[in-house]
């Protein structure tokens, strides 16, 4: 058959998108290493991708998670990048109204170019910054409901809901996603993680 159920022998491409500065790189580093590095990531330098196995009640799921950098303006992400994605994490910053207002445009772009069955999670990041918050949880929930996507508030700083977001994606992929075989990435030794030290431009460290 042309399609396969989500299977442990395949890697599911997952991409992080959203405006520059919302915390995409920090979010992925937090998931990957359990650490937060203050304000260190050069805006145009992404960490590439990292491959992680996520455990779900239905079994394990391998995710190849891509950070985007320097592609944060609309229409600057290549269509192929969207087309191959099985899951998308769309982030905004609860302290930035513009990053929230831009979510509609991001969702329109995702709906236009991404696979119809792709899992989409809307992420309200920097939830730890309560005193400078300008976007309420209800605003995010309402927008997510309007577009029928999952919603979660997170903090890449203290780690709140970061692992949970990836577990949600893995569970959704595991439970209900079918993809054409050609869209699944075979695991090869070359897909191994890039060591963290090679990824960031973090303060020269």
Nearest CA-CA partner of 61 in 168, 202, 152: 168
Q: What residue ranges bind ligand GDP (CB under 6 A)?
A: 20-26, 38-39, 41, 43, 125-126, 128-129, 155-157
Q: Which is nearer to ligand GDP, 25 or 177 (CB)?
A: 25
Check residue 25 for interaction with Mg ion (CB under 5 A).
yes
Q: Is 69 in the site for Mg ion (CB under 5 A)?
A: yes
Q: Min. distance of Cβ 120 from Mg ion in angstroms?
A: 20
Residue with tokens 């937060």: 36
- The candidate with the shortest Cα–Cα distance to 73, out of 145, 137, 18, 155, is 18
Please, which residue, 128 or 139, has the CB nearer to ligand GDP? Answer: 128
Q: Supply the DSSP symbol for 189.
A: G
Give residues with Cβ within 8 angstroms of 181, minimum separation 6: 2, 3, 4
Nearer to Mg ion, 61 or 121 (CB): 121
- Name the closest residue to ligand GDP (Cβ): 23
Angle of CA points 156, 147, 172, to nearest 5° = 60
Q: Say whether residue 125 binds Mg ion (CB under 5 A).
A: no
For residue 183, the tally of other CB atoms under 10 A from its CB is 18
Is the CB of 14 or the CB of 155 nearer to ligand GDP? 155
Task: Please give the residue ranges that form the binding site for Mg ion (CB under 5 A).
Answer: 24-25, 69
């Amino acid at each position: 058959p042309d399609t396969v159920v989500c299977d442990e022998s395949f890697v599911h491409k997952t991409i992080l998108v959203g405006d520059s500065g919302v915390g995409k790189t920090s979010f992925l580093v937090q998931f990957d290493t359990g650490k937060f590095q203050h304000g260190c990531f050069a805006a145009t330098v992404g960490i590439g991708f990292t491959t992680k196995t996520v455990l779900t009640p239905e079994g394990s799921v391998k995710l190849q998670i891509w950070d985007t950098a320097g592609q944060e303006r609309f229409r600057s992400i290549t269509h192929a990048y969207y087309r191959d994605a099985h899951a998308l994490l769309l982030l905004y910053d609860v302290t930035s109204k513009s990053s929230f207002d831009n979510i509609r445009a991001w969702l329109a772009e995702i709906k236009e170019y991404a696979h119809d069955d792709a899992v989409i999670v809307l992420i309200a990041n920097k939830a730890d910054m309560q005193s400078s918050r300008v976007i309420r949880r209800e605003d995010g929930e309402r927008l997510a409901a309007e577009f029928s996507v999952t919603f979660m508030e997170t903090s890449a700083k203290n780690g709140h809901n970061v692992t949970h977001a990836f577990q949600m994606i893995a569970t959704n992929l595991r439970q209900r996603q079918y993809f054409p075989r050609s869209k699944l990435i075979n695991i090869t030794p070359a897909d191994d993680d890039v060591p963290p030290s090679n990824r960031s431009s973090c303060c020269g460290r």
